[in-house]
């Protein structure tokens, strides 16, 4: 007999409600997506733990896992050098892009001036031009200015980014003018208002931009490959790819280097992502 109070019947209803067809489809799609994204990473890790003879057996779990590749890569002076190059370039570019993108975005969001919309559209339109088309002008320019095969030559295209300007402008637009005017009355100059008041209010955007920029620079391949010609100046992706061209392709070394290369991106993401989640903006307003 089934009564309203019957716990078993209630549980039954609950279970049925939980496994709705919509849910099943959602989970299946998410699962497939997850597998597609994770598999290459797992193969990277797996290959890095195999010895050179085993890399074509395509087993996900290595038969005789070994750390020899890691020891080899880490004790290889070239790898450390490239790692340093990539870190240096990614950090400098990120700091610079965050600084200048925010400044330009803030100006476009919070100041009224003639031609503001035009400037914004001009900046946005550069987003439509793919890197591949820009590489030749960049190269010619670098050649003229003597920037070929220098850190600056690798970095300069990313010191300020259109995407970042756009992102920061959108976020600064949501900062209430009262915040800025209160600071103006307290006697801060415009630079101080931007730096001390506006910037802390958009930390989520800054963190997101920093993550994107860092990742973009860390994984950049095409331009660093073109603008550098000595091994000492290679970035990590360019350097690792050079493992592929000498003698035979050393997949296990490439995969080990790639695995090591993901560590800084993980760190950057873990450090910065908590600022993204924290929505600080509205707490100072209203009740």
Partner 1 sequence: MATITLEGLSKVYGKGVKAVREIDLDIADGEFVVLVGPSGCGKSTTLRMIAGLEEISGGTLKIGGRVVNMQDPKQRNIAMVFQNYAIYPHMTVRQNIGFGLYTSKLDKAQKNQRIDAAAETLGLTPYLERRPAALSGGQRQRVAIGRAMVRDPVAFLFDEPLSNLDAQLRAQMRIEIKRLHQRLGTTIVYVTHDQVEAMTLADRIVVMRDGDILQVGSPTELYENPVDIFTARFIGSPAMNLLPATRTAGGVTIDGTSVQVALPAGGGDKLLIGVRPHEFVVDPSRAGQPGAFAVEGVVDAVEPLGPETLVHIKVGATEAIATAPGRVVPAVGQTVTAMAQPGSLHLFDAKTEKALPRP
Distance CA 234, CA 229 (A): 8
Indicate which single residue of 95, 135, 184, 241 sits in contact with partner 1 (rule: CB under 8 A). 184
Q: Does 183 bind partner 1 (CB under 8 A)?
A: yes
Q: Per CB under 8 A, does 197 bind partner 1?
A: yes
Contacts of 238 (CB under 8 A, 6+ apart): 82, 221, 224, 225, 228
The residue with tokens 């900046």 is: 123
Question: ∠ CA(103), CA(106), CA(110), 5° rounding?
Answer: 145
The residue among 54 and 207 lying less far from partner 1, judged by its C-beta, is 207
Told to check if 114 binds partner 1 by CB under 8 A, we report no
Instruction: Name which of 256, 158, 151 is nearest 215 in CA terms.
Output: 158
Nearer to partner 1, 81 or 184 (CB): 184
Please provide the DSSP assignment of 106-163 as one string: HHHHH---TTHHHHHHHHHHGGGS-HHHHHHHHHHHHHHHT-TTSHHHHHGGGSS-HH
Told to check if 284 binds partner 1 by CB under 8 A, we report yes
Q: Which stretch binds partner 1 (CB under 8 A): 67-75, 149-157, 198-206, 265-273?
A: 198-206
Does position 124 interact with partner 1 (CB under 8 A)? The reply is no
Torsion over CA: 110, 116, 120, 121 (sign): positive
Q: Which of 179, 251, 269, 275 binds partner 1 (CB under 8 A)?
A: 179
With binding defined as CB under 8 A, does residue 276 bind partner 1?
no
- Which residue from 203, 207, 213, 250 is in contact with partner 1, where contact means CB under 8 A? 203
* Segment interacting with partner 1, rule: CB under 8 A, options 120-128, 183-191, 224-232, 263-271: 183-191
Residues of this chain that bind partner 1 (CB under 8 A): 176, 178-179, 181-188, 192, 196-197, 200-201, 203, 280-287
């Amino acid at each position: 007999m089934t009564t309203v109070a019957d716990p078993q019947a209630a549980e039954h209803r609950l279970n049925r409600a939980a496994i709705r067809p919509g849910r099943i489809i959602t989970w299946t799609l998410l699962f497939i997506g997850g597998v597609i994204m994770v598999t290459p990473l797992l193969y990277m890790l797996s290959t890095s733990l195999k010895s050179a003879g085993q890399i074509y057996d395509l087993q996900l779990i290595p038969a005789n896992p070994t750390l020899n590749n890691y020891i080899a890569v880490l004790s290889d002076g070239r790898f450390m050098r490239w790692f340093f190059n990539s870190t240096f370039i990614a950090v400098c570019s990120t700091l610079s892009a965050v600084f200048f993108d925010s400044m330009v975005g803030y100006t476009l969001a919070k100041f009224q001036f003639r031609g503001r919309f035009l400037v914004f559209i001009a900046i946005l339109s550069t987003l439509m031009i793919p890197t591949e088309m820009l590489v030749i002008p960049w190269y010619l320019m670098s050649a003229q200015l003597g920037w070929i095969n220098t850190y600056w030559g690798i970095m300069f295209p990313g010191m300020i980014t259109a995407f970042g300007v756009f992102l920061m402008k959108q976020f600064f637009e949501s900062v209430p003018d009262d915040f800025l005017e209160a600071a103006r009355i307290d006697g801060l100059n415009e630079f101080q208002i931007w730096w001390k008041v506006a910037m802390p209010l958009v930390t989520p955007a800054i963190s997101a931009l920093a993550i994107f920029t860092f990742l973009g620079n860390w994984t950049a391949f095409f331009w660093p490959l073109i603008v550098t010609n000595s091994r000492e100046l290679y970035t990590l992706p360019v350097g690792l790819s050079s493992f592929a061209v000498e003698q035979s392709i050393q997949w296990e070394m490439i995969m080990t280097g790639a695995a090591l290369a993901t560590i800084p991106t993980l760190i950057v993401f873990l450090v910065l992502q908590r600022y993204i989640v924290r929505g600080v903006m509205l707490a100072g307003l209203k009740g």
